[in-house]
Amino acid sequence: MKLRVSAYREAAISMGELNGAEYIEVPSPRANNAKKVSLLPLIFLIFYEVSGGPFGVEDTVHAAGPLFALLGFLIFPLIWSVPEALITAEMGTMFPENGGYVVWVSSALGPYWGFQQGWMKWLSGVIDNALYPVMFLDYLKSAIPALGGGLPRILAVLALTLVLTYMNYRGLTIVGWVAVSLGILSILPFVVMGLISIPKLKPARWLVADVHSIDWNLYLNTLFWNLNYWDSISTLAGEVHNPKKTLPKALFYAVILVVLSYFFPLLIGTGAVPLDRDSWTDGYFSDIAKILGGVWLRCWVQGAAAVSNMGMFMAEMSSDSFQLLGMAERGMLPEFFAKRSRHGTPLIGILFSASGVILLSWLSFQEIVAAENFLYCFGMILEFIAFVWLRIKYPNATRPFKIPGGTIGAVLLCIPPAILIGVVLAFSSIKVMVVSLVAVAIGLVLQPCLKFIEKKRWLKFSISSDLPDITSNGPLLH
Burial class (CB in 10 A: 0-12, 13-18, 19+), 73: buried
Domain tally, the chain: 1
Assess contact for 97 and 238: CB atoms under 8 A: yes
3 state SS of 240: strand
Distance CA 403, CA 396 (A): 13
Backbone angles phi, psi at 274, to 5 degrees: -55, 140
- What pLDDT score does 477 carry? 31
In a domain, 440, yes or no: yes
Q: How many angstroms separate the Cα of 54 from the Cα of each of 49, 187, 438? A: 13, 9, 32
Q: Residue 317 contacts by C-beta under 8 Å, 6 or more apart in sequence? A: 129, 164, 165, 168, 350, 353, 354, 357
Domain that holds residue 231: 39-456
Using a pLDDT cut of 70, give the percent of the chain over it: 88
CATH number of the domain at 255, please. 1.20.1740.10
Q: Residue 354 contacts by C-beta under 8 Å, 6 or more apart in sequence? A: 161, 162, 165, 317
In a domain, 476, yes or no: no
Residues 328-342 as b/e (b if ≥16 CB within 10 A, e otherwise) read bbbbbbbbebbebee
Distance CA 250, CA 45 (A): 9
pLDDT at 470 over 90: no
β-pairing, 474-475 vs 470-471, is antiparallel
In a domain, 472, yes or no: no
- Of residues 159 and 139, the one with the higher pLDDT is 159
Q: Quote the distance between the C-alpha of residue 140 and its chain's center.
A: 24
3 state SS of 449: helix
* CA–CA–CA angle 401, 408, 468 (5° rounding): 40
- What pLDDT score does 372 carry? 78
DSSP track, 173-230 = HHHHHHHHHHHHHHHHHHHHHHHHHGGG--GGGGG---GGG--HHHHHHHHHHHT--G
Assess contact for 78 and 228: CB atoms under 8 A: no
Lowest mean pLDDT, pick from 11-15, 59-63, 266-270, 466-470: 11-15
In a domain, 6, yes or no: no
4-51: pLDDT as tens digits: 333 333 333 333 333 333 444 444 444 444 578 899 999 999 999 998
Specify the DSSP class assigned to residue 25.
Answer: P
Distance CA 32, CA 344 (A): 6
In a domain, 411, yes or no: yes
Distance CA 229, CA 102 (A): 14
In a domain, 33, yes or no: no
- Of residues 465 and 396, the one with the higher pLDDT is 396
Mean pLDDT score, 45-64: 92
pLDDT at 424 over 90: no
Check residue 65 and give left, alpha or beta (phi > 0: left; psi -120 to 50: alpha).
left
Q: If you average pLDDT over every residue of the chain, what do you get?
A: 85
Report the candidate in 254, 234, 262, 301 with the shortest Cα–Cα distance to residue 91.
Answer: 234
pLDDT at 362 over 80: no
- Of residues 35 and 70, the one with the higher pLDDT is 70
281-299: pLDDT as tens digits: 888 998 999 999 999 999 8
Mean pLDDT score, 40-66: 92
In a domain, 346, yes or no: yes
pTM of the model as a whole: 0.85
In a domain, 363, yes or no: yes
DSSP track, 34-86 = PPPB-HHHHHHHHHHHHTSSSTT-HHHHHHHHHHHHHHHHHHHIIIIIHHHHH
* CA–CA–CA angle 118, 467, 441 (5° rounding): 15
Distance CA 376, CA 370 (A): 10
